[in-house]
Structure formats: structure tokens, C-alpha cells
Amino acid sequence: MQDVLAEWRPVVDDAIKELLPRHIDEPYLSDFFGDPSYRYHPEAMQAALADPIWELLDRGGKRWRAVLFLVAVEAFGDDPEEYLSYACVPEILHNGTIIVDDVEDEARKRRGDPALHHGHGTDIALNAGNAMYFVPLKVIARNSADLSAERKLAAYEMLTHELNRTHLGQGMDIRWHNQKEVVVDEQQYFEMCACKTGCLARIVTRLAAIVTGQSEAVEEQIARYAEDMSIAFQIGDDILDVEHTLDQSGDFGKEFGNDIREGKKTLMVIHAAENAPPERVARLEELLWADDNTDEEILKAIDIMQSTGSIEFARETAHDLASSARDHLDGLDLDPEAADHLRAFTRFVVERQV
């Protein structure tokens, strides 16, 4: 899987540059956004949009959502090179959500460096993040790959539906970590992930199905694959935060105990709250609710989760979801080699180390 990602990432970055160039000038602004009513100010657009966006993109990220789109297109029997611009849609959307998410979570770091709102200001970060929700729509508007009017409309309607659900998931997550008590259950956690993380993955595979002209039944089937895989990814991400905290590793690009500092109600926290003695649950809630934590307090919160087997429970759940995702590919008429890559993605999201 790493080889597939390494092969496609530079190609994806070049395609992103076509939509969001590193350097903005008046010809680009007029071509992409339309002629100005009066006069554009490229220098302002450079500082407020291009610079922060590319600073984030240059920090890393595997571009796996974009690559997954291209692999899905290949699985449906089409040439992925013809749809490179569409691969940018989920990737730009994802990075936009990261910027806004970091502001909402008051995150300090992202991919090893200060979160964008610390370096550029909250106003610029929010504007750049929000712009990244809309710029990808220009791919469809400019009718890349000569989509029919029906397919363009289907793509617009799908994106509108999924992006609305994304904000449902984010809303649930925000509400939960703004409450001291752990009041949610596993099914509600899965729904939050299905919305917050799952919708972006569903966009990836549904868009691939739409642009290649698949039936609604096929579109829904591969969307279920993506949703299960993305929930497994989110759980794996939460486990990594704990594991890298225990290792005190700086390679993960986040702070020590990031999720605990933010008071996140992860699957591990929910499982521990359901299985630990009441006094230990109360202590875990206090630690998650604290304005700040010492390293010792963070390790104490992890100890409570370890004592209930919550980390291993989460790991097993992630593997079960990855297996379920692979099952959703059965019965679809897919190119065999590309289908193997789709299955490999489900293993990558739960076995990755960074």
C-alpha cells in the first residue's frame, strides 16, 4: 500500500496545483473565479489563501483519500489519469476540515508544527479552511472529463448531502468534549465517526462511482465499504494517539496526549466508562475535563483505559470494521488488481504506525 501511495502522491499534488497554485496572480483569479467587478488584489489572496493552504499541504499527509479515489476509478474499469482533477476534491475538502477542526479544538500542533491558526491567525485560518470546502466544486463546474449534466447534478447532490452530515458528526464530537460526563454509548460514537470521518470517505468512493457511470446500487455498496473503513481509520487514529503518547514519540505530529488534553470521548474512553469502577470513571472524567494536564495525569487516564482492556477492545473493533469493509466489495464487478488495492487500504488504515 505504501508503494501505491508513494507512486500517486506527487501526481495528486501536481493536480492540486492546477486548482490551487502556489502563487496567485490576476490571470488565475480571473480564469478560476471570474472577472473582477473592480480589481482583484492578488497579494492579499496569496497571504490569506495560497500561503496557509500550501503550508499545511507541504507538511505531509499521505493523500490516501485522493489515491483511494483513483484506485476506485481503476477498479471500475476506467483510466484514473482521466479523472485526476476529481481526486483533488476529497483531498482539498479533508485538509479544509483539518484547519477548521484545529480552531474548534484549540489544537496547538498539526503534522509536527503549530496549527495554522497559531501561525496565521484564526481569521485567516478559518477563511482558508472554509474556502477549501468550495474550491473543489469548481472541478465539477468546469466539467472536467466532460461529465453529462445528469452526472454533474448527481455529484453536486452527493457532495451537498455528505458535507451536511460531516457537520453533524463534528457537532456531536464538539458537544461531547464540552461535557464532563461520558454520556454517549458505542453506537452513538460509531454514528459520529460515520458522519465526521465516514462522509469524506463516502465522498471518495461515491464520486468515483458517479463519474464512471455506476448504478446507484453499486454506488451505495462501495460507499458502505468506505464508511466502515473510515470508522476503523478513526479508531486507529485514536489508538495511535495513545500509543505515541506512551512512547513519547514526536513522529506523530501531535502533542503528548493530544486527545486527552482535548477531552475527546473516544471509543476507548466510552468503553472504559462502561467497564471501570465508578470511582475510576469519575477520575477519568476529571482528567478529560481539566483545562490542562500534566504528563503524569495523561498517563493516569491511559492507565484507566488499559485497566479495562479498552485499548485492545478498540483495536479489535477497528479490525472487525476493516473486515466488514472488505466484505462490502464482494459481489462487485471490479478489476481484480485494483480490488486487491482497495482491500489493502482497509488493512493500511488500522496497521499504520504514523
- Kindly tell me if the per-residue pLDDT of 49 is higher than 60: yes
* Number of independent structural domains in the chain: 1
Q: How far apart are CA 186 and CA 231, in angstroms?
A: 12
Least confident of 35-49, 141-155, 299-313: 141-155
pLDDT band of 354, cuts 50, 70, 90: low
Owning domain of residue 205: 2-351
The pLDDT score that the predictor gives to residue 252 is 45
Cell 457537532 sits at which residue? Answer: 171
Decide if pLDDT at 136 tops 90.
no
CA angle 216, 218, 224 (to 5 degrees): 105
Q: How far apart are CA 339 and CA 11, in angstroms?
A: 21
The per-residue DSSP string of 11-43 comes to HHHHHHHHHS-SS--HHHHHHHH---SS---HH
Interval 53-66 mean pLDDT: 91
**pLDDT value at 120 more than 60:** yes
pLDDT, tens digit, 9 for 90 and up, residues 66-116? 999 999 999 999 999 999 999 999 999 999 999 999 999 888 889 889 999
C-alpha cell at position 257: 496526549
CA 240 – CA 243 distance, rounded (Å): 5
- Please check whether residue 70 is in contact with residue 8, taking contact to mean a CB–CB distance below 8 angstroms: yes
Give the pLDDT score at 353: 67
Nearest residue to 342 via CA among 88, 332, 238 = 332
Mean pLDDT of the residues in the chain: 92
pLDDT for the residue numbered 251: 46
Give the pTM: 0.91
Distance CA 252, CA 353 (A): 8
Q: How big is the chain by its Cα radius of gyration, in Å? A: 21
Q: CB of 305 within 8 A of CB of 269?
A: yes
Q: Hunting for cell 485522493 — which residue is that?
A: 66
CATH number at residue 252: 1.10.600.10
pLDDT digits (tens, 9 = 90+) for 199-226: 999 999 999 999 999 999 999 999 999 9
pLDDT over 90 for what percent of the chain?
79
Asked if residue 143 lies in contact with residue 152, where contact means CB atoms within 8 angstroms, the answer is yes
- Summarised one tens digit per residue, pLDDT across range 273-321 is 999 999 999 999 999 999 888 889 999 999 999 999 999 999 999 999 9
Q: What's the pLDDT tens digit per position in 241-282? A: 898 888 764 444 455 788 898 899 999 999 999 999 999 999
Higher pLDDT, 179 or 145: 179
Q: How many CB atoms lie within 10 A of CB 315?
A: 17
Residue 108 — φ and ψ, nearest 5°? -100, -30
Helix (H) or strand (E) holding 23: none
DSSP string spanning 155-166?
HHHHHHHHHHHH
